[in-house]
Amino acid sequence: MDKTYKRFTVRGISDKPECDVCGKKNLKLTIVIEDEAGELLHYGSDCASRTLRQDYQGKRHPISREAAISMGRSAKRGDSFARLSQQVTA
């Protein structure tokens, strides 16, 4: 059976100190990620690297915390909006 994926777009970086995924507080920054429904979520770098994969040349690659933050910074500058996906376990 094929795996299903939810798709996300990195929109920027925020100084909101709370992760919307796990509820962790006192973070230095969070990564702003838009889901398929257009809803903006704030991801801590730990949650971003743990749950998200980067789509690149038809394959999905794990991302590091540093990569997640750097994607957020690029998106905030308007340079690039990385496409990410998360596997949905049925």
Residue numbers at the binding site for Zn ion (CB under 5 A) = 19, 21-22, 24, 44, 47
| Complex with Zn ion: residue 20 or 55, whichever CB lies closer | 20
Cα–Cα separations (whole angstroms), residue 3 to 35, 52, 56, 61: 18, 14, 17, 15
Minimum distance between the CB of residue 24 and Zn ion, rounded to whole angstroms? 5
Q: Of 22 and 80, which CB lies nearer to Zn ion in the complex structure?
A: 22
- Minimum CB separation of residue 10 from Zn ion in Å reads 16
Please name which of 9, 4, 3 lies closest in space to residue 84, comparing C-alpha atoms.
9
Largest CA distance in the chain: 40
Q: Which is nearer to Zn ion, 68 or 75 (CB)?
A: 68
* Residue type, position 58, single letter: G
